[in-house]
């Protein structure tokens, strides 16, 4: 299952390949891009250039044949959104980190082009949240006012909207469910354009979404599920601990402390003193960082610090390690998991590389009705979020949701 020798690039490449099952990628396109990158020499620059070019090509009319119809335009745009997202992930390590916001906007434009051609097109709205509203896309099987079960799909720390199509929207629609996709603080538009970072009180993000949904005539307010992918396996349970209107919760995977997903030698830098912490960071750590590691840290910390993001766009390393590190550490939900009352499914994966052991720990701490499922190598569903098996992933999640909420067969 090796596309690239570097695990980070390999994982992202597998995600793009896995998206093919839902139209959010094309096997031939992805593997051709992989070959081109490896031939040129794997680097952030070659990765970004190759996938960005592929996205650009798909947003143009295809060569030969007739004029592209709406469905051709629609699915080319969905694949483009995937490839722009691939480029976006590594752009801070490229020769042009300052293009990050524009690259996000390119991907967002492709996503909206896809959405506008869905039938029916998702309802687009802005849900109130502090001073920066949350953009939402509400997908429905049809435009009737039939009250339907609805799933709120929560992205992780660096996913894009197209990932929510792969990990829930299509599966929901195929089963007669509504699906809500949104950008929260630290994600998508709120991060890259509005410059709003993550918050530890995710219930304040989900509550207005539930308010918006329950006001609609096509939502069964008693059958609202909430899923959290990747780091949202921490965010969604936090919200569910304080939002009783959620009827079922899925953590994909369960995560009690995102901070533990960072290397221990990095966590040891954080001391009670901001001055001491930042002195260690700037004088002892940063000067010794290899360029590839520096690029990774810029990416991982940008959703937690606007100064870190803006510095990275200028090709610089952030100087205040203490503030974003404290924010990541504040996302620990160990003490509130016991408050969760609704039925909860905790997923785990063979070779879970970011939060090993945490899904089982979360499951053990839950006092609500609960189930634990580990997706395995034998199924081709290993690694964080099963990048090669999103269809199987959705089958497990939605079978559980349907059984738990008494919907469908």
Q: Coil, strand, or helix at residue 162?
A: helix
Task: Give whole-number Cα distances, 218 to 91, 107, 138, in Å.
Answer: 40, 29, 11
Return the pLDDT at 48. Answer: 98
C-alpha 361/C-alpha 355 separation (Å) is 11
Return the pLDDT at 1. Answer: 82
Question: Could you say which DSSP state residue 384 is in?
Answer: T
> Edge-to-edge, what's the strand order for the sheet holding 370-375?
123-127, 134-139, 178-182, 148-154, 219-229, 248-252, 344-349, 370-375
Contact present, 19 and 390 (Cβ < 8 Å): yes
Distance of CA 336 to the CA centre of its chain: 23
C-alpha 202/C-alpha 331 separation (Å) is 9
Contact present, 407 and 177 (Cβ < 8 Å): yes
Q: How many residues does the chain have?
A: 409
Return the pLDDT at 69. Answer: 87
Q: SS3 breakdown of the chain: % helix, strand, coil, rounded to 5?
A: 50, 10, 35
Return the pLDDT at 222. Answer: 98
Return the pLDDT at 67. Answer: 82
Mean pLDDT by 10 residues, the chain (409 residues): 95 97 97 98 98 97 81 96 98 98 98 98 97 98 97 96 98 98 98 98 98 98 98 98 98 98 96 98 97 96 98 98 98 98 98 97 98 97 97 98 86
* Three state DSSP letters for 3-49: CCCCHHHHHHHHHHHHHHHHCCCCHHHHHHHHHHHHHHCCCHHHHHH
Return the pLDDT at 409. Answer: 55
Task: Give whole-number Cα distances, 100 to 189, 229, 238, in Å.
Answer: 12, 23, 30
Q: Could you tell me if residue 380 is left (phi over 0), alpha (psi between -120 and 50 degrees) or otherwise beta?
A: left
C-alpha 123/C-alpha 136 separation (Å) is 8
Nearest to 13 by CA among 23, 27, 21: 27
C-alpha 81/C-alpha 112 separation (Å) is 9
The CA-based angle 105-106-107, given to 5 degrees, is 90
Considering the entire predicted model, what is its pTM? Answer: 0.97
C-alpha 33/C-alpha 17 separation (Å) is 11
């Amino acid at each position: 299952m090796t596309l690239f020798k570097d695990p980070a690039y390999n994982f992202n490449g597998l995600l793009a390949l896995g998206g093919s099952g839902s139209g959010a990628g094309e096997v031939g396109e992805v593997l051709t891009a992989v070959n081109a990158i490896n031939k040129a020499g794997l680097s952030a620059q070659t990765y970004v250039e190759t996938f960005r070019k592929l996205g650009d090509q798909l947003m143009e009319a295809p060569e030969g044949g007739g004029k592209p119809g709406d469905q051709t335009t629609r699915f080319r745009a969905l694949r483009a959104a995937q490839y722009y997202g691939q480029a976006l992930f590594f752009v801070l390590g490229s020769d042009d980190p300052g293009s990050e916001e524009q690259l996000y906007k390119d991907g967002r434009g492709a996503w909206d082009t896809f959405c506008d051609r869905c039938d029916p097109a998702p309802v687009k709205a802005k849900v109130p949240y502090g001073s920066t509203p949350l953009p939402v896309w509400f997908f429905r099987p049809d435009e009737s006012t039939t009250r339907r079960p609805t799933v709120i799909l929560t992205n992780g720390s660096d996913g894009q909207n197209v990932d929510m199509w792969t990990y829930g929207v299509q599966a929901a629609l195929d089963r007669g469910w509504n699906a809500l996709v949104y950008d929260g603080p630290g994600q998508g538009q709120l991060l890259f354009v509005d410059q709003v970072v993550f918050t530890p009180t995710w219930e304040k993000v989900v509550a207005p979404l539930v308010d918006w949904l329950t006001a609609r005539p096509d939502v069964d307010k008693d059958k609202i599920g909430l899923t959290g992918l990747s780091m949202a396996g921490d965010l969604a349970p936090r919200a569910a601990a304080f939002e009783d209107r959620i009827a079922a919760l899925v953590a994909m995977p369960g995560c009690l402390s995102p901070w533990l997903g960072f290397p221990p030698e990095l966590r040891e830098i954080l001391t009670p003193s901001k001055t001491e912490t930042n002195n260690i960071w700037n004088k002892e750590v940063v000067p010794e960082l290899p360029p590839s590691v520096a690029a990774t840290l810029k990416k991982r910390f940008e959703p937690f610090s606007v100064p870190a993001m803006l510095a990275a766009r200028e090709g610089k390393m952030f100087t205040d390690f203490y503030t974003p590190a404290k924010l990541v550490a504040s996302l620990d939900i160990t003490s509130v998991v016991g408050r969760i009352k609704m039925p909860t499914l905790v997923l785990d994966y063979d070779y879970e590389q970011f939060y090993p052991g945490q899904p089982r720990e979360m499951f053990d701490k839950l006092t609500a009705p609960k189930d634990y499922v580990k997706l395995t190598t034998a199924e081709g569903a290993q690694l964080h979020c099963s990048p090669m098996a999103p269809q199987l992933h959705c089958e497990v999640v939605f079978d559980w949701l349907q059984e738990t909420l008494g919907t469908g067969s």
